[in-house]
Each structure stands twice: as structure tokens, then as C-alpha cells.
Structure 1
């Protein structure tokens, strides 16, 4: 066994803080902070996952109103110990090329494209954390035989938890955070041999 690299050791007994991520130049790309622990994307990403993120970002960007932007794979500083990196997000934050994270107040929607290694975090941990932070909308995109299925959630403010608003197959029509229409079947066409 090899020794743990020094940069992987938490700087304090209670773990890592959100601002520590910006100092970890040695950390692999897509490193997240969940409950003070670093989480790395360890398994290879499937083409379906990568193309779904790109297709959704492109489709959403073409529909955004002025002052709204769609980004991919940028962390959100939820609190001192949590800085997850959603696959896509919609934000109302002012444009700033030097930013490394958004805040929940600037974030209108987060979306996670589920992969086998992230399934538990995407379906339970992040669902709860994004809601507790007050992010208004959450989408979880699942692969159903090569076709995307979007599980949409909206924040119930008094309980700070998400309520399911729909499971979308083939098409998606929502009014929050703005009017969005997606032809899900055309995002990543399934090619049969």
C-alpha cells in the first residue's frame, strides 16, 4: 500500500471547509465536499452521462431569459462543510469569469445526471442538502434504456424539503425557474445497431 498524499489529509480534525477546495490544486477534477469530506469521481464517466449533460446545458441555454445562465460542473457553497458539484445548474449570479462556486441564493435549479457511482448521493444526499440550502428546483436525470427520464422537484419553503412535481419521459414542460420545454428523446438519441 502507498501512503496517503499529504494534500489529502484534512487541515483540521473536523475535516475540510468549503473554502479549502480552492486551495487544493492537486485534487482531481470534479472533487466535491460533502459533510467535510472530499468526494472524488473515481470511476470512468460513461458517454451517455457526458453527452446528456452537454445536451441539457445546450437546450436550456437556448431558452434562458436575460440575466439567467446555465453552467455545468461548478460547485455550490451550501455551507461551511458542503460544496457539491452538480452536473448542471441554472443561476442568476452576475457574470464573473474568476468564480469557482455559486451560492444557494444565486442558484435557481440544480440537475444531477445519475451514474452508477453517484446514484446514492444524487437520489438521497444531494436531494436533501440542496433542499435544506433553499435551492428552489432540483432535477434528477436517470437513464432508462438509453432515454432520459427527468424527476423534477420543487422546494416546499416551510419544511425546506423537496416535493416531487413530475416524472418526465419524452418531453418536459415546466414553468419554474422559467418556462422550459425539452424534447427529451432528442437530447441523446438512442442508436440501435
Structure 2
């Protein structure tokens, strides 16, 4: 006898913002909604989750009182069709800490930590979605063969709703935008 795995019905139908907002945090964990459809990505390794958490802590400390940085929560890019992304790190307006959902106008910077299997999504798809939503800064973190993470930074060109290349950092990040920030990636 073989056991067949049957996907839940909600994985085959479009989800509205109202439906999604009624789900528990446990139901929303580990998924994103793109054009109303539930999508899952590869699970990040413990090393990459730790990198995201430490980077969020460093960004939070550097951001000042007007901004907070945190990991793994929804950013509502669009209501219809529903598109929620769950960046690895999000820097958002401190005054919006109790507002749900977090909207692009609340967000200053999103950081994607690339996992094996998320390369194309993090390099192209998510960057395009964040830019079209008007998020001013996007950073992509990749693991180099040396083991030291590389940070690629991007700055929104609001006239064309696309990111322009910023700086690239290996080892020590010394960014001036969106605020003064320094971190030793080798130590993360």
C-alpha cells in the first residue's frame, strides 16, 4: 500500500487579504502569498537564520529611535491580488510597531539572505516586487565560497520603480545609506 500525500485545498485556490488576515501566526509561518497563491520557499539553514538575526540586531542598534529592525514577519506589498512577502530582515518605522499588516510605506529596507534554492527569487523576483512597492532600499546577502557573507546593496530609483546597484561589501560593511551602519560580517 502506498500513501499519497494530498495537499490542503487552500493551496489550490486564491487567498484574499481578508482570509489571510483571519489565519493564525502558526498558519502564516513559513509561507508567502504571491498573487493570491500560497508559496513556500526553501528553509534557511541555522547558519543563515543566525546571520539574519544578527544582522537585524546590528541594523536595529544603528537605526536610531525612528526605525526598528526585525526578522521574519509579513510585509503586505499588495492587497489585490494579495501579495505578502516575509523578508529575512525588515527595517520599518518604529511608530508602526503595532500596525498590522506592515505596508511598504512603513518600510525603509528589506534584506534577503539567499538560501540554496532561493537564488532567482531573491536576486530578481523579490527585488522587482519590493521596488515596484516603493521600498527605498534592498540588500541581498549571499554566502561566498570563503564562508564570509557578501552584501549587495540596492537603492530605489522612484522614477522607474527599479533598484540601482549600490555598494558591495565583503567582510566589513560600512554603509552610509539608509543610515550609517558598520558590521563585521566575518564575525557574524
TM-score by shorter chain over 0.5: yes
State the partner residue of 1:39: 39
State the partner residue of 1:23: 22
Deviation at 1:94, TM superposition (A): 1.7
Deviation at 1:95, TM superposition (A): 4.8
Deviation at 1:76, TM superposition (A): 0.8
Deviation at 1:2, TM superposition (A): 3.3
CA distance in 2, matches of 1:179, 1:19: 39
State the partner residue of 1:91: 92
CA distance in 2, matches of 1:128, 1:57: 22
Per the alignment, do residues 131 and 183 of structure 1 end up closer, same or farther by CA in structure 2, a change over 3 Å counting? same
State the partner residue of 1:149: 150
State the partner residue of 1:117: 117
Deviation at 1:19, TM superposition (A): 4.0
1:65 equivalent to 2:68? Answer no
- Equivalent residue pairs, number: 181
Are the counterparts in 2 of residues 150 and 168 from structure 1 also a CA contact under 8 Å?
yes
Deviation at 1:93, TM superposition (A): 4.3
State the partner residue of 1:51: 50
Deviations 1:115-159 (A, max 9, x none): 012222111110000000000000000000221100100000100
State the partner residue of 1:162: 163
Deviations 1:72-123 (A, max 9, x none): 11111111221100000101142545x5431110100000000012222111
CA distance in 1, matches of 2:137, 2:93: 13
Deviation at 1:22, TM superposition (A): 2.6
CA distance in 1, matches of 2:5, 2:185: 45
CA distance in 2, matches of 1:124, 1:23: 30
TM-score for both structures, normalised by structure 2: 0.87
Per the alignment, do residues 111 and 141 of structure 1 end up closer, same or farther by CA in structure 2, a change over 3 Å counting? same
Gaps of 5+ in 1: 188-193
Per the alignment, do residues 73 and 100 of structure 1 end up closer, same or farther by CA in structure 2, a change over 3 Å counting? farther
